[in-house]
Structure 1
Amino acid sequence: MDSLSQVALGAAVGVAVMGRKTALWKAAVMGAVVGTLPDLDVLINHGDPIRDMTLHRTESHALFYLTLAAPLIAWITAKLAREMDLFKHWWLAVWLVLITHPLLDTMTIYGTQLALPFSDYPFGIGSVFVIDPLYTLPLLLGTGVALARKQLAGLRWNTLGLAISSAYLMWGLAMQFYVGTLADKSLTAQGISAQQRLVTAAPFNSVLWRVVAITPSGYAEGFYSLLDDDRNIQFIEYPRGEHIYNLVRSNWEVNRIAWFSKGYFKMEEKNGVLSIADLRMGVEPYYSFTFDIATRTRDEHGERILFTRPKQPMPDIQGADTLHWFQQRFLGDTDQSLVEFLKGN
């Protein structure tokens, strides 16, 4: 999730655990600060954008390492708070703040390597978008009111905020499952053979959902809004560039994206530049993580593919038109894909 959500969750958890034992502001500040620590790994430069992407949410988000780090961080916290007699309580609070951070991240589709060092599998459910105000606002309001009121009454507001935000996550899981059942029926009805499919929340909400299915000939994309009148999801099929992948599949960067995306990727060639995109994050034709990885050249020795240092180009996403399409699709007012919508504008 975004940094503000992690700050809000950390503060709320800190207040919930330590609110009866120390000043509410101390508990909230501790939670907010510790809740941001795992994301400091973004400051590490791994040398290229593909490594930066796939090595984010690794050791700093692993439950085992966070558990090992919790006593030291708790000791520092208790020392700064001048409450060493409460060390065990600070330890519990710090540990809960640390582990709820990656557990929340796992609800997004990105990929969080929770199980290191035992497994590097990137867990990602996709039932909530990385930024969702309906998740974050109850936490901010609950903790904010708690800090403004007396201890006991404040704790009740903080608990209410945590309960509402947690219920929202459960809602997202339920809606994701529901849309998944509709997607499976729609794929079968349209004669699309899905080798694998995923359902993810669209940006900033849990009403509009995006479905991606990998097919023998490429991939299919469809959208469903809970405000739609028709429960049938219309899918549009696109090529994945399998022939390009077969040429470059030995490349480490290509394999890394193929692994990290769990097979939800496509490859394209434009003006001799070969690129790979993670299909899980974005919408056709714009994807958040697209990387140029090679060039195709021809000389007197014939055709060659030269691998280059991965580059992440800045896409021209036509922001106003894209936002307008999302708004219409959210309300169930259009069945057009974004590609069709942009062509008509």
Structure 2
Amino acid sequence: MDSLTQIVLGAACGEAVAGKKLGNRAMIWGAVGGTIPDLDVLSNWFLDPLDAMMFHRGPMHSLLFASILPLLAGPLVKKLYDRNWHRKKTWQWVGYGVGLLLYVAAAVLASLIAGLVSGTTPWPVIAFFAFVGLGFFFLRYKQVLADRGPAAEPVGVGLWRRLFFWSVFTHPLLDALTTYGTQLFWPFDNMRVQISSISIVDPLYTVPFGLMLLGAALHRRDDPGRRRWVMGGIAIASIYLMLTFAHKLVVDHKFRARLNSEAIATSSRMSTPSILNNALWYAIARTDTGFIAGYYSIFDRGKPFDRLVAFPSNHHFGDNYRDDLTLQQLAWFSGGYYRLERLASDTLLFSDLRFGSLGGRPDDPQGSVFTMKLVDLNGRLEMVPQGRPRNRPEDVAWFRKRIFGSENTNER
């Protein structure tokens, strides 16, 4: 999922493991642990685009990595704390500043999402986050100045290892619930685990979770109320994840029933929530000639998946490149859910169909969320990332209405 969500989850793990001894420092170190797996994006600096894409959510998102890293990070941080550098006022101000930046990032994200859904400037949401933020950081400012609360207790290396284990271990587990996929079992198996039950960005998971952590951070580390806040946040987030599983089961059942009612033979199926929510779902199935796909909202009142769109896979455009490593890797990455289009005599357009399309047009190759050009260089394909297509106003309007089950807007 997005980095902000992983920071929140990591902070919660750090607090649950060591908050009673470390206070807010446990949240900060948990957030650090929750961020470490995503540092694999730095591979973009020294790997070509294809190799960097393959590396992301690979080795650094494996269960093996989550098991080894704490053995190294625990003693290292313990040694830093033994030198008492954390007692300096500078450290408190750094933590205060990091927390402020993360809160602003969360508030901006929530406001952008609210604006997308409402179609207007979300002044109530902006006012809410401004009010909560001013109150929280004013209180934290007073605490930092007063150095309120007992000094942090000595922490053994074992507790540090447990803190980093849970903050790192939960990162790939949460990522595995998305559609992108995570190589949990690397290097023993390169299978990308993708449950596809939650979007890579879902504010209904992140925002309440983060607000509960802010509430916990206002309490002294020896205050029983502090643990109630953080455990409440973990409970709310966990219940929401279970709700997304329930949604997926319902969507899969309705999609399968819709295909069976039309006697449509398929070899495989998948479903995934659309971005920023868990109400509007996209489902796609493989047929003998290509794919068939459609959208369904849990708020729909009519026939589920009432408009399905069939379109060809055009895999024959890649017949001359069956042994090409680039095409093989992309086909593996997409799980076989891809479409090819010929843009020129030496250029193909590869569309990963797992992520849906803009404006509810799964049959439009130019509207796919995840595309890249494949250019023939002396018989060898080279990937050229396309970047995300621009959101047209009519596409945003369709998305906003379709989430809430508006009729006659399934596909256009």
- The TM-score with structure 2 as length reference comes to 0.76
The equivalent residue for 2:120 is: none
Change (3 A) 1:137 1:245: same
Find out whether 1:201 has 2:273 as its counterpart. Answer: yes
SS of corresponding position for 1:131: coil
Q: CA deviation at 1:194?
A: 1.4
Change (3 A) 1:18 1:314: closer
Q: Which structure 1 segments of 5+ residues have no match?
A: 297-304, 341-345
CA distance in 2, matches of 1:335, 1:258: 34
Q: CA deviation at 1:315?
A: 5.4
Amino acid at match of 1:145: G
CA distance in 2, matches of 1:225, 1:275: 29
The equivalent residue for 2:327 is: 254
- The C-alpha deviation readout for 1:109-139, integer Å capped at 9, x for no partner, is 1010010111111111110000000111122
SS of corresponding position for 1:227: coil
Match of 2:162 among 92, 100, 106: 92
Amino acid at match of 1:262: G
Q: Report the RMSD for the aligned CA atoms in angstroms.
A: 1.8
Q: CA deviation at 1:311?
A: 0.3
- The TM-score with structure 1 as length reference comes to 0.90
Change (3 A) 1:318 1:88: closer
CA distance in 2, matches of 1:246, 1:156: 59
Task: Report matched runs for 1:41-56 at 5 Å.
Answer: 41-45=40-44, 47-56=47-56
The equivalent residue for 2:285 is: 213
Q: CA deviation at 1:77?
A: 2.2
- Which shows bigger deviation, 99-108 or 89-98? 89-98
- The C-alpha deviation readout for 1:221-255, integer Å capped at 9, x for no partner, is 11110110124212100111022132322211111
SS of corresponding position for 1:288: strand
Task: Report matched runs for 1:1-345 at 5 Å.
Answer: 1-20=1-20, 22-45=21-44, 47-82=47-82, 85-150=155-220, 151-233=223-305, 234-272=307-345, 273-283=347-357, 284=362, 285=364, 286-295=367-376, 306-314=379-387, 316-336=389-409, 340=412
SS of corresponding position for 1:33: helix
CA distance in 2, matches of 1:139, 1:50: 34
Q: CA deviation at 1:10?
A: 0.4
Q: CA deviation at 1:220?
A: 1.0
Contact 2:331 2:338 in 1 (8 A): yes
Contact 1:294 1:306 in 2 (8 A): no
Q: CA deviation at 1:101?
A: 0.4
- Which shows bigger deviation, 7-16 or 283-292? 283-292
SS of corresponding position for 2:282: strand
SS of corresponding position for 2:354: coil
SS of corresponding position for 1:125: coil
Change (3 A) 1:136 1:104: same
Amino acid at match of 2:176: T
- The C-alpha deviation readout for 1:45-96, integer Å capped at 9, x for no partner, is 3633222212211111111122112121111222333376521112111101
Point out the structure with the larger helix share: 2
Contact 2:203 2:276 in 1 (8 A): yes
SS of corresponding position for 1:19: helix
Amino acid at match of 1:259: W
Contact 1:172 1:206 in 2 (8 A): yes
CA distance in 1, matches of 2:189, 2:302: 42
CA distance in 1, matches of 2:23, 2:303: 47
Contact 1:15 1:31 in 2 (8 A): yes
Amino acid at match of 1:277: S
CA distance in 2, matches of 1:56, 1:260: 11
Q: CA deviation at 1:332?
A: 1.4
CA distance in 2, matches of 1:324, 1:227: 17
Q: CA deviation at 1:308?
A: 4.1
Change (3 A) 1:295 1:71: closer
Contact 1:26 1:81 in 2 (8 A): no
Contact 2:369 2:389 in 1 (8 A): no
Q: CA deviation at 1:29?
A: 0.6
Change (3 A) 1:318 1:15: closer
Change (3 A) 1:228 1:317: same
Contact 2:43 2:55 in 1 (8 A): no
Contact 1:78 1:84 in 2 (8 A): no
